Amino acid sequence: SGLAMQKGVTVLNAPGLIDSGYRGELKVLLINHGAEPVELARGERIAQLVVQPVADVKLVEVDRLPESERGMGGFGSTGA
């Protein structure tokens, strides 16, 4: 990001997650990787917010899974 490149400051727990039920103030944890203090001005852009839909998934417990094209192959089994 520009903040990291210009000032040596990064967001500590990126990406962060805000639960849909949270109603408090949004805060950003920053870490200064440099030796000198960094001053940030009010209104300076320090983070980005991405809003995404949340899927409402209903899980169903089963005794067996049906066969699939991939099967039980592990790492590397798809040829990718």
- Is 76 inside a domain boundary? no
Quote the DSSP letter at residue 23. Answer: -
Residue (of 78, 60, 80) closest to 68 by Cα position: 78
Binning pLDDT at 50, 70 and 90, where does residue 80 land?
Answer: low
Boundaries of domain holding 17? 1-50
- Is 13 inside a domain boundary? yes
pTM above 0.75, yes or no: no
Binning pLDDT at 50, 70 and 90, where does residue 64 land?
Answer: very high
- Is 10 inside a domain boundary? yes
The pLDDT of 6-19, averaged and rounded, is 88
Q: Residue type at 36?
A: E
- Is 79 inside a domain boundary? no
- Per-residue pLDDT for 70 more than 80? no
- What is the C-alpha separation between 7 and 44, in angstroms, rounded? 12
- What is the C-alpha separation between 1 and 35, in angstroms, rounded? 19
- Is 64 inside a domain boundary? no
